[in-house]
Each structure stands twice: as structure tokens, then as C-alpha cells.
């Protein structure tokens, strides 16, 4: 089962339980059975699933709950907490700091997405103000240097490599030296992969690491391998002092639940996930927001970060202030989409809004979502200022709706659909009132406002 379906199945199981007339042991058992089936179909190891459901049972203990307690909420919170536990390795990874020459070495099997991920990682940090550089120490695969060069050029990141030299250690040392001199503060070394773990690969990784003394070794793993991820992550961890993992190919069709939970079981922190072949298909992996998005509960901090990426710094506090005021007008709905459309894959962004669960959608669905948003914006373009600024959606009479439909060249149903989505969003955004102010304070501090 793919990740987006996994999230849907778990949410449905929880919703069914919430609809049950009484929340008793039977309703809980049915709900947990449904969640177990969903996780197993997603390739999560059965032992981990049983441990998770037993923990939920222990945490809930229906008999001991006082009358009047909201059992549904307690069960939902326990499922959320235990899913987080299952994916949490329990320790953070080393994070590079600006201004000093951090060396980060990438290891992994051939075809896992290592070279692509090096550039994604470099580009991500470039966006955060680092001066990254790329060294191609993969002399095993013909074409590896060309690929890195091409990616690096696209992302405007300096690179180093050689067509002639066959000693990966020599290239790695030369590259790291050169970029140290050039004051790069994030020197990324891409190493060779092999089709399978073998002594020669391990030895080469060891030698490159010994010569370049990396601050962090990142293991890149193909996320579609499911439970086999445990053995692979464990083997690399032991042989190359892996400090963090990036799981790739978690786009729509991957059974990513298995890989993510297996890596967590090796106690290695997953720091990013790759969700496609393009450079922007790359996301920070944080357990709680990830689970929250998986279950369609939104990711407020992710959304605020996207707003920070998308908007000029001086406009951010004002926009977030408007979101917190609790009067979510259609104009704000419009501005939200207008700003977020510029920031990258829309699926990623939509999934951060509570009520959407599309970050791990197949790409076709992502296009549909994007088209839908553009349609909404066209409809809103045909509204008057009074309509856009109204805080009372009931003002939207049938005759107004027909006028807006005509003006925007859309069907009446499109307009009513858009208004329905707006109302849902307004309801959810009323919760921002309490959740965003803390974020807002930190933004103000960061932008000296």
C-alpha cells in the first residue's frame, strides 16, 4: 500500500471508530485491526505493528477512563503518538553549521539516488545560506562525474571531479582541499556505489572517510525496498559510521512505511526524503509533522516555513498576523494560494494544510490539485472587493454565485465547490488563532520587526 493510501486508511479507521455509537473495547479492537492491516500492507514489519497496537491499548485502557472522558480523542492521540514512536529513532543527527567547512560524505548502493540526492542536499542548504560544493569521488560508475556535473551546473553549485583519475581517495582529498580553500562551508563528497554490499565497496568507503574525515556520513537508501531497509541500513551503519539516512523514491507509488519504520528501528535518524526525480522533490523529514500530514492533520510549522520561503521577509509577519486574526476571508484564501503556488510542488504544500493529504500523492493527482487551485483563483478574480473581504459567506446568494460563474467562465458548481472548500479552510484556520502566535513571535524576532 502506498503512503498516501496508508494515511487515508488509518484516518478512515479512526473516523469509523469516531462514528461508532459507543467507544468500547470492540470498537477499539476493530479500529486497531484496520490500522494493523493498513500498516502490514504498507510493508511495515509485523513485530513493529504489534508493538505499536499494544502500546495504544496500554495507553488507552478504556475501563480505567472516568465517565465523561472523550475516549475518541484519547484513542486518536494514542495512535498518533505511537505512529510517531514507531518512526522515531530517538536521537537527532549532526546538522552542519554555517561558516566552518563541514564535510558530508554520501554512501549507498548504486541506483539508490545518491548522486541526485547530493545535489538536492546541496541545493537545500544553498537556500538556507550555505556555500555548498560537490566532489565526485565515484570512479566506479562510468558517467557518474557527468551526471554530477550536469546536476551541479543546473543548481549553480561548484563541483570537482576527474575523467582521468581512477583513485577515488585522491579525488576526494583534492576536492575537499580545493573547496576548503574556497571557503565552502558544506563540502559534499559523492562516493561510488555497487549493485550489492560487498567488501570492495565497504573498503573504498572506509578509505575515503579516513582521508577526508567527514563530519557526517549520510546513507542514501531506495525507499521502495520495504522491510529489507533494516538489514541495509544496519550494514552501512556498522561499516561506515553512518550518522543519518536519506530515504529516496518515496513518491506516490512507494510502500514507504516499511522503509521508514525499518530505518528507525536501526536507530538511525532519517533527515530528508526524496519524493521525485527533480531537484525540488526533497523534503525535510521530521517525525511528528510527517505523521500529522500523513493523517491529514496538517503541518503548521511546515506551512509557516513555506510562507517564509515564498514571501519577502518584510511581508511575512503581516500575512501571518492576518491568518491569526480568525477572520479568514476569501481574499486571504486567494493570497494564500497566490503565495504558495510559487514555492514548489503544490502537493507538498497542500499536505501542510489541515484537511488535505496530498504530499505523497501520485504526480497525476498533484497536477489535478494545481489545476483546481488555479480554477479557484480565476473564480475569485471575478468577485467584487466586498465579496472577497466579507467575513460572512452567507452573503453569497444564488444570484451572486450565478454572476460569479458567468464572469469567470466557470460552471455554478465550480463556484459552490470553491466556496465549500473555503468554508472548510476557514473553519480549520480559526484554530491558527492559538497555534500561530508563537511562530509569529519568532518570525518577528528573525525579521527584527
For residues 96 and 211, what is the distance between their CA atoms, to the nearest angstrom? Answer: 19
Size of the site for ligand GDP (CB under 6 A): 18
For ligand GDP, which residue of 133, 248, 266, 339 counts as binding (CB under 6 A)? 248
Binding mask 80-119 vs ligand GDP (x if CB under 6 A, - otherwise)?
A: ----------------------------x-xxxxxxx---
Binding piece for ligand GDP, criterion CB under 6 A, among 23-31, 271-279, 306-314, 383-391: 271-279
Q: Which is nearer to ligand GDP, 137 or 320 (CB)?
A: 137
> What's the order of all strands across the beta sheet hosting 102-107?
159-160, 132-137, 186-191, 102-107, 216-222, 244-248, 270-274, 282-284
Judged by CB under 6 A, which stretch of 37-45, 178-186, 248-256, 366-374 contacts ligand GDP? Answer: 248-256
- The site map against ligand GDP for 281-300 (x = CB under 6 A) is x-------------------
In the 8-state DSSP scheme, what is residue 66? Answer: P
Q: Is 275 in the site for ligand GDP (CB under 6 A)?
A: yes
CB closer to ligand GDP, 107 vs 349: 107
Nearest partner of 191 among 240, 224, 152, judged by Cα = 240
Site string for ligand GDP, 189-208 (x = CB under 6 A): ----x---------------
Beta-sheet pairing, 282-284 with 270-274: antiparallel
CA distance 317 to 314: 7
**Which of 421-425's residues contact partners 24+ apart within 8 Å by CB, and which partners?**
421/376, 422/330, 422/333, 422/393, 423/393, 424/355, 425/328, 425/333, 425/353, 425/355
**Residue 409, phi-psi category: left (phi > 0), alpha (psi -120 to 50), beta (remainder):** left
273's enclosing H/E stretch is strand 270-274
Binding mask 383-412 for ligand GDP (x = CB under 6 A): ------------------------------
| Among 96, 243, 258, 274, contact with ligand GDP (rule: CB under 6 A) | 274
By CB under 6 A, is residue 420 in contact with ligand GDP?
no
Binding of residue 277 to ligand GDP (CB under 6 A): yes
Residue found by looking up cell 567488501 in the block: 199
Closest contact distance (angstroms) between CB of 366 and ligand GDP is: 13
Which residue's beta carbon is nearest to the bound ligand GDP?
274
251 is an interface residue for ligand GDP by CB under 6 A: yes
Q: How far apart are the first and last CA of the chain?
A: 47
Report the largest interatomic distance among the alpha carbons of the chain, rounded to a whole angstrom: 76
Closest C-alpha to 10, from 281, 256, 295, 252: 295
C-alpha cell, 299 = 503541518
Q: In terms of CB distance, is 148 or 383 closer to ligand GDP?
A: 148
Q: Which residues are near ligand GDP by CB under 6 A?
A: 108, 110-116, 147, 193, 248-249, 251, 274-277, 281
Amino acid at each position: 500500500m502506498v503512503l498516501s493510501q496508508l494515511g487515508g486508511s488509518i484516518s478512515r479507521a479512526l473516523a469509523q471508530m469516531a462514528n461508532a455509537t459507543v467507544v468500547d473495547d470492540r470498537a477499539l479492537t476493530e479500529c486497531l485491526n484496520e490500522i494493523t492491516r493498513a500498516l502490514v500492507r504498507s510493508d511495515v514489519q509485523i513485530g513493529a505493528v504489534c508493538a505499536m497496537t499494544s502500546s495504544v491499548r496500554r495507553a488507552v485502557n478504556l475501563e480505567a477512563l472516568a465517565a465523561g472522558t472523550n475516549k475518541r480523542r484519547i484513542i486518536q492521540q494514542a495512535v498518533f503518538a505511537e505512529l510517531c514512536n514507531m518512526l522515531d529513532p530517538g536521537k537527532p543527527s549532526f546538522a552542519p553549521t554555517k561558516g566552518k567547512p563541514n564535510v558530508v560524505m554520501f554512501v549507498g548502493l548504486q541506483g539508490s539516488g545518491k548522486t541526485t540526492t547530493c545535489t538536492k542536499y546541496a541545493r537545500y542548504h544553498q537556500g538556507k545560506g550555505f556555500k555548498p560544493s560537490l566532489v565526485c569521488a565515484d570512479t566506479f560508475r562510468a558517467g557518474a562525474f557527468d551526471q554530477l556535473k550536469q546536476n551541479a551546473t543546473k543548481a549553480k553549485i561548484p563541483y570537482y571531479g576527474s575523467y582521468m583519475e581512477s583513485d577515488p581517495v585522491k579525488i576526494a582529498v583534492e576536492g575537499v582541499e580545493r573547496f576548503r580553500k574556497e571557503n565552502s562551508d558544506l563540502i559534499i563528497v559523492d562516493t561510488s556505489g555497487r549493485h550489492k554490499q560487498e567488501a570492495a565497496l565497504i573498503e573504498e568507503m572506509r578509505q575515503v572517510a579516513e582521508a577526508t574525515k567527514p563530519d557526517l556520513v549520510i546513507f542514501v537508501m531506495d525507499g521502495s525496498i520495504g522491510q529489507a531497509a533494516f538489514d541495509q541500513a544496519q550494514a552501512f551503519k556498522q561499516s561506515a559510521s553512518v550518522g543519518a539516512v536519506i530515504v529516496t523514491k518515496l513518491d506516490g507509488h512507494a510502500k514507504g512505511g516499511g522503509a521508514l519504520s525499518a530505518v528507525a528501528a536501526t536507530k538511525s535518524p532519517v533527515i530528508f526524503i526524496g519524493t521525485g526525480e527533480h531537484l525540488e522533490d526533497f523534503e525535510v523529514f521530521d517525525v511528528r509533522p510527517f505523521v500529522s500530514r500523513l493523517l491529514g492533520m496538517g503541518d503548521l510549522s511546515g506551512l509557516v516555513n513555506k510562507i517564509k520561503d515564498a514571501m519577502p521577509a518584510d511581508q511575512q509577519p503581516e500575512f501571518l498576523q492576518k491568518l491569526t486574526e480568525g477572520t479568514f476571508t476569501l481574499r486571504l484564501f486567494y493570497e494564500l494560494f497566490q503565495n504558495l503556488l510559487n514555492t514548489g510542488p503544490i502537493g507538498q504544500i497542500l499536505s501542510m494544510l489541515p484537511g488535505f493529504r496530498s504530499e505523497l500523492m501520485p504526480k497525476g493527482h498533484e497536477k489535478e490539485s494545481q489545476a483546481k487551485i488555479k480554477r479557484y483563483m480565476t473564480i475569485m478574480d471575478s468577485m467584487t472587493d466586498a465579496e472577497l473581504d466579507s467575513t460572512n459567506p452567507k452573503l453569497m446568494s444564488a444570484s451572486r454565485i450565478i454572476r460569479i460563474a458567468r464572469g469567470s467562465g466557470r460552471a455554478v458548481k465550480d463556484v459552490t465547490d470553491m466556496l465549500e472548500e473555503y468554508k472548510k479552510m476557514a473553519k480549520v484556520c480559526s484554530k491558527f488563532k492559538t497555534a500561530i502566535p508563537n511562530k509569529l513571535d519568532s518570525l518577528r524576532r528573525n525579521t527584527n520587526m
